[in-house]
């Protein structure tokens, strides 16, 4: 069996989530129907909504089920922008290095909906420059439709100081959407607590947060936009208005039920699992740096460790390196041939021959960014998996280095 170390792309579905999904599929009934079968489906759906709400720390009515993280992000960002634009607020504050679900959304709003996108710089570890954020918020805050940011970077694992960023926006009266897709299951999600601690009130501060089921052992094609009761938003999808007039469409009861099981399981075991994964990651990082001294760890140093509540400056499950003189794709294919599955970055960009925009935003050169490799751990990861990766790496690195050298010499000869 291959060694799977790409849990940031997707993680195996939990057996109990599969059981919940198949059990719900056996039931007949549209949850919007008022007959007996419809009301049975509705009870199942609302039970799932309550369980997801418990996992993210919000009221059940604030959970809007979606087809996944990408739809949740689109609904949150576009909906808040359109609501703000009606009041003359057309600026969007967004850090560089975001997931493409956000990047492509704000760029579309800029090209098609008269938005002004203001990019916030990152430092060399991937943290948002808070001085730049403060400066942007102080310049005519009434013109800002929203701040949106990725809580935990999906490529390099950097964890942003979310509550500090939300508090700055709240004090300026600016609404915030948080992409928590990569953070879910790894960091403590407490929507109501974060709102209270950051001074969020009404339409200012934290009003929306996006999560996805398949990152925590649920099915692909399920997610949620957590939307504050007080939020003013324009819907992305119109129709029957089934979910607070925010998202229309017949709701997928089976997906919601499976999502709920996975979400509850992820939160119940989060602290213990975070510490276990951090220990595995630290051993993996030490092994890579011992075997390939030229490798460079991207993002914050792992020496910062993990706090008692499971928080840290980088995800416990993430190890991201650049290998000078190598193409990340070459390393990926060579490791795959050796039975070890990793990635070069976001699965949404896999196969696209572009250097990582995240690394470029962190100040890395294009050549450095092309040598990226992301190793991400999950529930099924073990010491044996780390050993297999470390055993396969030296030969893969040697072959990729030779291929890189040959390519550079060929390019020089062609000039």
Quote the pTM value. 0.95
Strand, helix or coil for residue 15: helix
Select which of 111, 142, 291, 348 is catalytic: 348
Architecture of domain 15-266: 3-Layer(aba) Sandwich (3.40)
pLDDT band, very low/low/confident/very high, at 382 (cuts 50, 70, 90): very high
| Closest to 373 (Cα-Cα) out of 81, 156, 86 | 156
pLDDT in tens, 309-347: 777 899 999 999 999 999 999 999 999 999 999 999 765
350: closest CA among 128, 177, 155, 94? 155
Topology of the domain comprising 3-10+269-408: 3.90.1150
Going by pLDDT thresholds of 50, 70 and 90, the confidence category of residue 352 is: low
pLDDT in tens, 285-315: 999 999 999 999 999 998 877 777 777 899 9
Residue spans per domain, the chain = 3-10+269-408, 15-266
In the block, tokens 């730049």 appear at 132
Q: How far from 360 is each of 76, 97, 124, 244, 315, CA to CA, in Å?
A: 26, 8, 10, 40, 20
Q: So what's the pLDDT on residue 305? A: 75
pLDDT band with cut points at 50, 70 and 90 for residue 411: low
Task: Confirm whether 348 is a catalytic residue.
Answer: yes
């Amino acid at each position: 069996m291959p060694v799977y170390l790409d849990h940031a792309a997707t993680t195996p579905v939990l057996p109990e989530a599969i059981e919940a999904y198949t059990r719900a599929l056996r039931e007949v009934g549209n949850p919007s129907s008022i007959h007996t079968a419809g009301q049975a489906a509705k009870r199942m759906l609302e039970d799932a909504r309550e369980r997801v709400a418990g996992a993210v720390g919000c009221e059940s009515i604030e959970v809007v089920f979606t087809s996944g993280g990408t739809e949740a992000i689109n609904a949150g960002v576009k909906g808040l922008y359109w609501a703000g634009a009606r009041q003359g607020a057309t600026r969007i504050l967004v850090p560089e290095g975001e997931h493409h679900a956000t990047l492509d959304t704000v760029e579309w709003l800029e090209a098609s909906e008269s938005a002004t996108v203001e990019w916030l710089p990152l430092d060399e570890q991937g943290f948002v420059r808070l001085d730049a954020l403060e400066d942007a918020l102080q310049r005519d805050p009434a013109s800002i439709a929203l701040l949106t940011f990725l809580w935990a970077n999906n490529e390099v694992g950097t964890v942003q100081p979310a509550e500090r960023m939300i508090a700055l926006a709240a004090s300026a009266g600016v609404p915030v959407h948080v992409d928590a897709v990569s953070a879910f299951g790894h960091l403590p999600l407490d929507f109501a607590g974060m709102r209270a601690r950051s001074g969020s009130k009404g339409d200012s501060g934290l009003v929306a947060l996006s999560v996805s089921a398949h990152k925590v052992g649920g099915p692909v094609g399920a997610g949620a936009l957590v939307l504050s009761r007080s939020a003013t938003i324009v819907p992305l999808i119109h129709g029957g208005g089934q979910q607070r007039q925010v998202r229309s469409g017949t709701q997928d009861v089976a997906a919601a039920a499976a999502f709920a099981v996975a979400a509850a399981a992820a939160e119940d075991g989060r602290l213990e699992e975070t510490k276990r994964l951090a220990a595995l990651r630290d051993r993996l990082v030490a092994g890579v740096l011992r075997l390939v001294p030229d490798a460079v760890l991207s993002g914050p140093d792992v020496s910062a460790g993990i706090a008692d509540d499971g928080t840290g400056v980088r995800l416990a499950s993430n190890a991201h390196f650049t290998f000078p003189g190598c193409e990340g794709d070459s390393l990926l294919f060579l490791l795959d041939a050796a039975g070890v599955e990793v990635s070069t970055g976001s699965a949404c960009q896999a196969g696209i021959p572009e250097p990582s925009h995240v690394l470029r935003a962190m100040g890395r050169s294009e050549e450095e960014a092309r040598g990226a490799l992301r190793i991400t751990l999950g529930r099924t990861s073990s010491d044996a998996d780390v050993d297999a990766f470390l055993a396969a790496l030296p030969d893969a690195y040697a072959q990729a280095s030779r291929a890189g050298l040959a390519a550079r010499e060929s390019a020089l000869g062609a000039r």
